[in-house]
Structure 1
Amino acid sequence: MTIAPNSHLADGLTGAIGGTPLIKLRLASAATGCTILGKAEFMNPGGSVKDRAALAMIDAAEASGALKPGGTIVEGTAGNTGIGLTLVANARGYRAVIVMPETQSQEKIDFLRMIGADLRLVPAKPYKDPGNYVRVSQRIAEETGAFWANQFDNTDNREGHRLTTGAEIWRQTGGVIDAFTCACGTGGTLAGVGMALKAHKPDVRIVLADPDGSALYDWVKTGQLTSSGSSISEGIGQGRVTANLAGAPIDDAVRVHDTAMLEQVFDLMIHEGLSIGGSAGINVAAAIAVARDLGPGHTIVTILCDGAARYQSKLFNPTFLASKNLPAPPWMV
């Protein structure tokens, strides 16, 4: 069967990645007098924005010959990239070995095992430590001759976002966009979207959203990689400048505390029916801060990275939140 261009049929799983809608966030827009739009990346087949990076890196590896039929993909991940890589691997006949810190949510651990990943859990250690999950994944790939996806420093990641996510946002807004804000793990989404938007409109503001415990806010503001505090968010925040982030056209940064993140997660759930994870909550809180800085009448776009179900045992667990001195969802108290 030949699928016609622009039809509503997707050619397998990979054909369903991308093309997500922009959703107007009513409360945030009303509170700021701006139009705040969230790119619904939780609607990708693997449930997150990382499906795009996974597909882009695998496509590029196939094209270069780094990944051959029947091969193995190895990656160190906080979870979502591992899910995307495993699903694309399943669809294309590869094996996926996923290395993940054991501190990540049980929901992501269970999901990776469910979809057939060869999951290796390791203690959470800093990047400089040889036991860090990224470094462990690199060693496994080198020792077995597998393809190491290397999402943090593989710039096919940001190129995928430049060609798809950024292009979609420009098209969906009709070029009416004043700012884009996004948190960074690998830096691929922020860098790729920023590059795409700046190519069309150089004065669009690209703003990094950063949680406590990450060094990127200070890096943008002062040029120094310094950090303090901690966050319960997963998969975002960074203590180094990755290859994907290097050279990214970033104009400013906003620091978002966990309390502000949770406020957005809970409000969007109960008042707008949008079920989002912590990184999306940080992105929305940052978009609101940017909107207030710009003033009424502007359009700000952000990324709704993934859904809340992957963090039920943390974000929606009053006992866990109390242990971190954070507020629980009002309807659960």
Structure 2
Amino acid sequence: MDIQSFIGKTPLVELKTFDVPADVRILAKAEFMNPGGSIKDRIVRYIVDDAERRGLIAPGATIVENTSGNTGAAIAMLAATRGYRAVLTMPDKVSKEKQDALRAMGAEVVVCPTSALPDTPDHYVTRARTLHAATPGSFMLNQYDNPLNAEAHFRSTGPEIWDALGDAVTAFVASGSTGGTISGTSRYLKQRKPDVRSVLLDPVGSVYHRYFHEGVVDPGQIAPYFVEGAGEDHLARCMDFSTIDEVLRFSDADAFATCRHLARREGLVCGGTAGANVWGAVQVARSLSGPATVVTVLPDSGGKYLSKIYNADWLTRNGFETGEIRALEPTL
């Protein structure tokens, strides 16, 4: 079997060191165990397989995509094994570890300013579209607006959770950037059990929280934040708000403090979105009375962020705590 055969069927890990009500469990799907190191392996294989079946991509073609790193890693992995060229654009806040891993697999990395506004030439999404248009025979996954992104989770992540837990699932909690994970997984779980609660986590500085609650996208609300792979400065068409019951806002400090808790008390060194997801799962768990099961995902490993969120100097420079882990206070 080749490396792609090991995508999916990741284990559920029970988190036992958080202060939640009795008989309320938190389970996290260890997506960093996918061969490309993240949950994005699922969508890349699904979309590329579909493109090959439909003749949208020819042998030796170029795959162009905008990414915060994990989709890029999955593309680079598949490109290396299937004989494609990979050209990947990303904002400059993406960790050096992620960028170096992409280059190691032969991908061309185009770094764009995080501060670039949507639809401007230097924005990483715009740059990818420009490169795609200028490269004959290239293929773009278009992960932010491609419905196959959510469909990949509807056909894999959701069924895997249901097969493991069935009717015991009370809530599914996940951050979102493209919206594929939360939309596809929630849609599947709600088809099996309509009262499953779906909660999207959105970082301060992203547009989704206000859009969900007020139907407004306010450019003045867009602000830089450090967590990679969560939130957006524009509405991704892949994000299906009809599958979502609530949107909670988290801060970088919430996510990074939870990362440290996971590492030091659960033995799980995970990325910032995993910290955000578990922080949110704890908030939801504290709003429930047992028996109940809250499920989330750990999208990637902390090995990609050792120079950032696990580096004391970086944390101190950017105003984050580095000492004893602060209490994770309930916000619901």
- Pairwise TM-score range, normalised by the shorter structure: over 0.9
Q: How does 1:58-97 map to 2 (within 5 A)?
A: 58-97=48-87
SS of 1:27 mapped into structure 2: coil
Question: Could you tell me how far apart the structure 2 residues matched to 1:190 and 1:246 are?
Answer: 8
> In the alignment, which residue of structure 2 is the partner of 1:8?
none
SS of 1:119 mapped into structure 2: strand
The correspondence for 2:149, drawn from 157, 161, 169, is 157
Q: Across the two proteins, how many residue pairs are aligned to each other?
A: 320
> In the alignment, which residue of structure 2 is the partner of 1:20?
10
Is 1:313 the counterpart of 2:302? The answer is no
RMSD: 1.5
TM-score, scaled relative to structure 1 = 0.92
Question: Could you tell me how far apart the structure 1 residues matched to 2:119 and 2:198 are?
Answer: 29
Give the Å deviation of 1:316: 1.4
> In the alignment, which residue of structure 2 is the partner of 1:7?
none
240-249 vs 314-323, greater mean Cα deviation: 240-249
> In the alignment, which residue of structure 2 is the partner of 1:195?
187
Question: Could you tell me how far apart the structure 2 residues matched to 1:176 and 1:230 are?
Answer: 38
1:13-51 alpha-carbon deviations (Å, 9 max, x no partner): 2111000001001113x5333110001000000111111
> In the alignment, which residue of structure 2 is the partner of 1:137?
128
Is 1:128 the counterpart of 2:128? The answer is no
Question: Could you tell me how far apart the structure 2 residues matched to 1:282 and 1:296 are?
Answer: 23
> In the alignment, which residue of structure 2 is the partner of 1:111?
101
1:272-299 alpha-carbon deviations (Å, 9 max, x no partner): 1111110010000001111111233211
Is 1:298 the counterpart of 2:287? The answer is no
Gaps of 5+ in 2: 326-332
Question: Could you tell me how far apart the structure 1 residues matched to 2:208 and 2:139 are?
Answer: 29
1:118-173 alpha-carbon deviations (Å, 9 max, x no partner): 11222221222121111111111111120011111111111101100111011111
* Contact 2:37–2:301 (Cα < 8 Å) also in 1: yes
89-98 vs 242-251, greater mean Cα deviation: 242-251
Give the Å deviation of 1:324: 2.1
Give the Å deviation of 1:228: 5.9
TM-score, scaled relative to structure 2 = 0.92
Question: Could you tell me how far apart the structure 2 residues matched to 1:85 and 1:181 are?
Answer: 26
The correspondence for 2:158, drawn from 166, 174, 181, is 166
Q: State the identity as a percent.
A: 39
Is 1:219 the counterpart of 2:249? The answer is no
Q: Which has the higher contact order (CA 8 A, sep 6+)?
A: 2
* Contact 2:171–2:197 (Cα < 8 Å) also in 1: yes
Aligned in 2, Cα 1:242/1:228: closer, same or farther, shift over 3 Å? closer
Question: Could you tell me how far apart the structure 1 residues matched to 2:103 and 2:272 are?
Answer: 22
SS of 1:174 mapped into structure 2: helix
Give the Å deviation of 1:248: 4.2
> In the alignment, which residue of structure 2 is the partner of 1:39?
29
Give the aligned residue type for 1:100. M
Give the Å deviation of 1:68: 1.5
Question: Could you tell me how far apart the structure 2 residues matched to 1:179 and 1:163 are?
Answer: 18
* Contact 2:309–2:315 (Cα < 8 Å) also in 1: yes
Give the aligned residue type for 2:3. L
Give the aligned residue type for 1:215. V
Flag as ranges the 4+ runs of structure 1 deviating above 6 A: none
SS of 2:243 mapped into structure 1: coil
Question: Could you tell me how far apart the structure 2 residues matched to 1:55 and 1:12 are?
Answer: 13
Question: Could you tell me how far apart the structure 2 residues matched to 1:82 and 1:150 are?
Answer: 12
Question: Could you tell me how far apart the structure 1 residues matched to 2:191 and 2:6 are?
Answer: 26
